[in-house]
């Protein structure tokens, strides 16, 4: 996952795009090394000390990890659980849509 996400974030660093994580590790301190090692620069909500039993994943009925949602500029869910190339296509399409709206 990380390499693909890294390249997506890098490719779109000047576009109106954000990758937002919801992290379900129990220990935030331990995670700092992972962030460094894996060059995870994007921001994450923390799901709290209960890990996968935390409040955000519960509110979103998340049952398997990773779970992906893609939102458009209006905050509307447009895709669920797209991975790899399909995720890139979805994001590119929504960016195009956003661009067209501005004109």
Partner 1 sequence: MQRLIVWSLAGLILVPAAWAGGDKKNGNDKVFKIEGTLAKDDPADKLRKNPHKVHEYKMKAGANYVIDMITKNAQELDPYLRLEDSAGKNLAEDDDGGGFPNARIIFKAPKDDTYRIIATAFKGVGDYTLTVRVASEAQSILEQLKESLGTKQKELFKQFPAAKTEEARQKITDRFYELTADSLLPLSEFAQKYADDPAAKEAKNMVRNNLRQLEQSDSPGVGKVLRTLREKGPKEMHGQVSLALSQNLRSQYERSYQRKDKDAGKLLKEIEDLLKHVGENHADLASQVKDVQFTLKNLTVGRPAMEIEAEDLDTKTFKLSDYRGKVVVIDFWGHW
**Cα separation, 58 vs 37, whole angstroms:** 29
Name which of 9, 20, 46, 18 is nearest 31 in CA terms: 46
| Site for partner 1 contains 58 (CB under 8 A) | no
Residue 24, classed as helix, strand or coil, is coil
Which residue number, 10 or 66, has a Cβ lying nearer to partner 1?
Answer: 66
Q: Check: CB of residue 72 under 8 Å from CB of residue 98.
A: yes
By rule CB under 8 A, what string of x and - marks binding of each residue 10-49 to partner 1?
-----xxxxxxxxxxx--x--xx-xx--x----xxxxxx-
Residue 11, classed as helix, strand or coil, is helix
Binder among 10, 49, 58, 86 for partner 1 (CB under 8 A): 86
Residues forming the site for partner 1 (CB under 8 A): 1, 5, 8, 15-25, 28, 31-32, 34-35, 38, 43-48, 51-52, 55-57, 59-62, 65-80, 86-87, 91, 94-95, 98
């Amino acid at each position: 996952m990380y390499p693909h996400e890294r390249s997506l974030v890098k490719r779109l660093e000047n576009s109106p795009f954000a990758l937002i994580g919801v992290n379900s590790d129990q220990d935030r301190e331990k995670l700092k090394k992972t962030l460094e090692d894996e060059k995870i620069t994007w921001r994450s909500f923390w799901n709290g000390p209960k890990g996968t039993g935390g409040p955000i994943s519960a509110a979103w009925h998340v049952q398997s990890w990773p779970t992906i949602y893609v939102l458009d500029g209006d905050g509307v869910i447009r895709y669920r659980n797209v991975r790899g190339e399909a995720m890139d296509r979805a994001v590119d399409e929504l960016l195009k849509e956003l661009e067209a709206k501005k004109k």
